[in-house]
Amino acid sequence: MADWAGYLGLMLDGALVTAKLTVLGCALALPAAFLAGLGRLSRFSAVRAVSVAYIEFFRGTSIFVQLFWAYFVLPLIGVTLTPLQAGVLALGLNVGAYGAEVVRAAVQSIGREQHEACVALNLTRWQSLRHVLLPQAAVVMVPTFCNNAIELLKATSVVSLISLSDLTFQAQVVRSQTGSTALPFLTVLVIYFAYASLISAGMKALERRMTRGLDGLRT
Amino acid sequence: MTDTIIDIDRVTKRYGSHTVLQDLCFSVRPGEKLALIGPSGSGKTTILRTLMTLETIESGTIRIDGEPLFQMERNGSLVPADEAHLHRMRTKIGMVFQLFNLFPHKCVLDNVTLAPMLTKGVRKADAERRAMELLDLVGLADKARAMPAQLSGGQKQRVAIARALALQPRIMLFDEVTSALDPELVEEVLSVMRMLGSTTDMTMLLVTHEMSFAHDFADRVLFFDRGRIVEEGPPDVLFTNPTHERTQAFLKKIIAAGQRI
């Protein structure tokens, strides 16, 4: 039974790596999503072109390929990354591309009357975005961002292919060493579910806080 | 300088193949109160939106205080205006919309202080003080911390008026500002407009279906139909003795619908 404590410890180490990947991946995906999402709405065609290229490339190719590129191909042009860095880069840019469309759609969903109020009040484009449009769009983005974050969490298992010891990788190690399949994978399931629930709860609280006062009831 | 504050000179505007303003010509004197009436689609809202730079025009010139709105001087000739020019011109014009267009995520006070702080660099304390004065003027000082969703339509519209006034425009545009309100809430907005008309020298243009208000309030009434001004004149003359048959037909329909003039 002491063995199990050791194996559990191994899996918890893996759980920690998964958590790190998720948090850092989301930390990269969020600014990427805003840059590309707003970039798609830019006045300048060059900015729009770059944004579209980024979004289409990272949505259109598989995360495995992107991860292998980050880990195996980038060193060929002098950029060497640790497995963790490569994982965060691939995950962040991949989910960021999906997030970009969320940002774009949310900003475009804000009614024309809000834009017109900003023109009538002589706000600059940037002032309108920052003070009027983005705050309202952010509320719309939260539920889908929650989905994107959970997808990122589940996608982290792809790093086991570059031998990064995340939760899935450690579960496979335990399975190969103990011959037991059910217990490690059941543990893995529970931990992923716990992480996903944490993300959902956090997003729900965020959404509640952001919509305070908007329905005229809670202030 | 000039004795007109707004000059519309042969303005034509098209949406695709549909011409919504045809060779429109009229002028507005400083401090004048102008009512624009007419059937829907006649172009009266469009000309207001164009003055607020929410629309562009295909031909003609619009001058505000003698200066072209959509063009600017460069090396002695007129070129299409850049954003800086439009920004400068917009400081003279404010607009109140039919659907209020308040910022739902900001309280009433922040709605009113946002633009002065951002566009004129007013300090927060000064902006809030001035905002409270304006909210007091429209009778909503006690709602300063309320969110727009908690207000009635009439209250929202009065906040919208205060918000536009905060930038001290010389020209105020009112686009059917009571059309979306329940009948019992219309009067509170009209009385604010009456107060503005009698206590300030702002030039006010209103698109309205409130004929009795237009009759009492306006210095001059313009009747629009299909993109042109069919008839114009002082309200006493236009409402009681219209010369054009289209004006007569329109006013007959309005009276039949129950509006007293």
- Asked whether residue A79 is assigned to any structural domain, the reply reads yes
Kindly report, residue by residue over A11-40, the tens digit of the pLDDT.
999 999 999 999 999 999 999 999 999 999
- In this complex, the residue of A116, A122, A216 whose CB is nearest that of residue B91 is A122
Range of the domain at A91: 19-166
Q: For residues B219 and A58, give the distance between their C-alpha atoms in angstroms, rounded to a whole number.
A: 62
pLDDT of residue A182: 87
Q: Does a structural domain hold residue A110?
A: yes
* Total structural domains within chain A: 1
From chain B, pick out residues whose CB is under 8 angstroms from the CB of A124: 87
A141 inside domain: yes
Closest CA to B205 of B226, B241, B180, B177: B177
Q: Do A122 and B167 touch (CB under 8 A)?
A: yes
CA atoms within 13 A on the CB side of B161: 30
Asked whether A150 and A196 are in contact (CB, 8 A), the reply is: yes
Asked whether the beta carbons of residue B105 and residue A123 sit closer than 8 angstroms, the reply is no
CA distance B245 to chain A (A): 36
What is the b/e burial string over B67-95, where b = at least 16 CB atoms within 10 angstroms of the residue's CB?
bbbbbbeeeeeeeebeeebeeebbebbbb
pLDDT at A210: 87
- Identify the H or E element spanning B79: strand B77-80
Q: State whether residue B117 sits within 8 Å of chain A by CB.
A: no
pLDDT of residue B253: 87
Looking at residue B1, its pLDDT comes to 47
A-to-B residue pairs, Cβ atoms closer than 8 angstroms: 68
Listed as ranges, residues in chain A with pLDDT below 50 are none
Test A121 with B167 for CB contact under 8 angstroms.
yes
pTM of the model: 0.88
> Which residue among A131, A213, A214 sits closest to B114, beta carbon to beta carbon?
A131
Determine, for residues A116 and B97 on separate chains, whether the beta-carbon distance falls below 8 Å.
Answer: yes
β-strands B203-207, B18-28 pairing: unpaired
Q: Residue B58 carries which side chain, given as an amino acid letter?
A: E
Distance CA B180, CA B176 (A): 8
Q: At B8, is the secondary structure helix, strand, or coil?
A: strand
Classify residue A63: in a domain, yes or no. yes
B117/B31 Cα distance (integer angstroms): 27
User: B147–A213: do the CB atoms touch at under 8 Å?
Assistant: yes
| B181 part of contact set with chain A, CB < 8 Å | no
Residue B193 burial (CB count, 10 A): 24
Q: Give chain A's contact residues with B (Cβ, < 8 Å).
A: 113-114, 116-117, 119-124, 127, 131-132, 135-136, 139, 213-216, 219
> Cα-Cα-Cα-Cα dihedral of B177, B181, B183, B185, to 10°?
-90
* Residue in B137, B3, B145 with CA at minimum distance from that of residue B66: B3
**In-domain check, residue A192:** no
Q: What is the pLDDT of residues A113-143, one digit of tens each?
A: 999 999 999 999 999 999 999 999 999 999 9
pLDDT at A178: 86
- Yes or no, beta carbons of A114 and B103 under 8 Å apart: yes
Can you give the CATH number for the domain in which A96 is found?
A: 1.10.3720.10
User: Going by C-beta distance under 8 Å and a sequence separation of 6 or more, which residues neighbour residue A58?
Assistant: A66, A93, A94, A96, A97
Closest CA to A115 of A98, A130, A128: A128
Of B189, B96, B184, give the one whose Cα is nearest residue B139.
B189
Cβ contact A119–B163 (<8 Å): no
The answer to whether position A11 is within a domain reads no
ipTM for the complex?
0.92
Residues (pLDDT < 50) of chain B are 1
Q: Is residue A194 part of a domain?
A: no
User: Which of A114, A139, A215 lies closest to B101 in CB terms?
Assistant: A114
Contact B191, B157 (CB under 8 A): no
CA dist list (Å): A194 to A168, A179, A197, A201, B77: 15, 25, 5, 10, 69
User: Are B103 and A132 inside 8 Å of each other by CB?
Assistant: yes
